[in-house]
């Protein structure tokens, strides 16, 4: 047994030399620390001005009468087809096993989504949402045609 052990030579690869660590100078001393009270105060000062600037965007939406499809989240809706009524495309939107006719100017979803354009394959809308800073901003959203929505 001892002779067998001596006759076998394991092949061990040498360990490569470690790479040398080169320290980098930190250049963020002049920046405001992210968790300081100065940073919080500047954000709060900015948010006091922002709602006034964005009030024109959200004010008309808050003062108008809600439409029935605004009670449903957009992800529960599906576009199942379109019709051509009097030269204008009308989208067929299915919500809770009910079919609705949607025209440009109608509202969909819970984020003040106003339909801007209807094609044969999608309903394009403009939504008004609050960003992480609390400001109201517009974003585009769309409902795509779902051919298998009847299943």
Q: Could you give the domains of the chain?
A: 39-151 (2.30.30.830)
Between residues 102 and 39, which one has the greater pLDDT? 102
Rounded CA-CA distance 111/123 in Å is 15
- pLDDT attached to residue 118: 96
Residues facing residue 120 across a β-bridge: none
What would the pLDDT profile of 40-68 be if each residue is shown by its tens digit? 777 677 655 444 456 778 888 888 999 99
Angle at 147 between CA 144 and CA 151, to 5 degrees: 120
User: Regarding predicted confidence, which is higher, 14 or 45?
Assistant: 14
How many whole angstroms separate alpha carbon 87 and alpha carbon 73? 29
Q: What is the mean pLDDT of the chain?
A: 85
pLDDT at position 52: 43
Helix (H, G, I), strand (E, B) or coil at 118: strand
**pLDDT higher than threshold 60 for residue 123:** yes
pLDDT one-digit tens code per residue, 70-89: 999 999 999 999 999 988 99
**Is pLDDT at 146 greater than 60 in this prediction?**
yes
Distance CA 150, CA 41 (A): 53
pLDDT for position 49:
45
Q: Which residue do the tokens 């092949």 mark?
A: 11
């Amino acid at each position: 047994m001892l002779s067998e052990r001596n006759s076998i030579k394991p092949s061990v690869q040498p360990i490569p030399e470690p790479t040398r660590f080169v320290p980098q100078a930190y250049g963020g001393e002049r920046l405001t620390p992210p968790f300081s009270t100065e940073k919080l105060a500047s954000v709060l000062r900015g948010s006091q001005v922002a709602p006034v600037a964005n009030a024109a965007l959200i004010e008309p939406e808050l003062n108008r009468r809600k439409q029935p499809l605004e009670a449903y989240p957009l992800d529960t809706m599906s576009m199942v087809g379109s019709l051509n009524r009097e030269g204008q495309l009308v989208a067929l939107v299915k919500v809770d096993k009910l079919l609705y006719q949607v025209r440009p100017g109608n509202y969909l979803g819970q984020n003040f989504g106003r339909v801007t354009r209807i094609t044969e394959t999608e309903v394009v809308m403009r939504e008004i949402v609050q960003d992480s800073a609390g400001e109201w901003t517009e974003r585009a959203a769309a409902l795509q045609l779902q051919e298998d929505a009847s299943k």
